[in-house]
Amino acid sequence: MKFKRVEHVAIAVKSMEKMRDIFENKLGIEMEYEEDVPHYNTKLAMYPIGETYLEVLESSSPDTETSKWIEEHGEGLFHICLEVDDIDGALVELKGKGVKLIDETPRIGHGGSRIAFLHPEATGNLLIELAEIPADSHH
């Protein structure tokens, strides 16, 4: 399995506007794009920092993974996302090594990417997302 880069660091928030003010007005980081992901009841904003992004996530429902995370852990770091060339191969390799997975098969994530999460029990209590970014993506 080959990791290409840290694709993003996800931050779970209750107010996207509050983080927008911090990132854009105080830190001077320009937002590259926003996306509404209706099947997750979540909005996201991507802020580029070199080859990596800060991804800000805000949920519109208390039943989402993001809202549950905030309820349990508070606002802040949610997960890190590692970009891979071949997510299917990465999942097979990790499963073969006995790594517990949340997603045994990829699902669709931000920007049409194929994503899968590793279980925090297998990663030192850190939620790790793997992403295979489409070639035509603006990432």
Could you report the per-residue pLDDT of 8-35, keeping only the tens digit for each? 999 999 999 999 999 999 999 999 999 9
Query: What's the pTM?
Result: 0.91
Could you report the per-residue pLDDT of 30-63, keeping only the tens digit for each? 999 999 988 889 999 999 999 999 999 999 899 9
Torsion of CA 62, 68, 74, 77, to 10 degrees: -120
Domains assigned to the chain: 3-132 (3.10.180.10)
Distant-in-sequence contacts of 103-108, Cβ < 8 A, 24+ apart: 106/132, 108/39
Give the residue among 53, 56, 38 at the shortest CA–CA distance from 7.
53
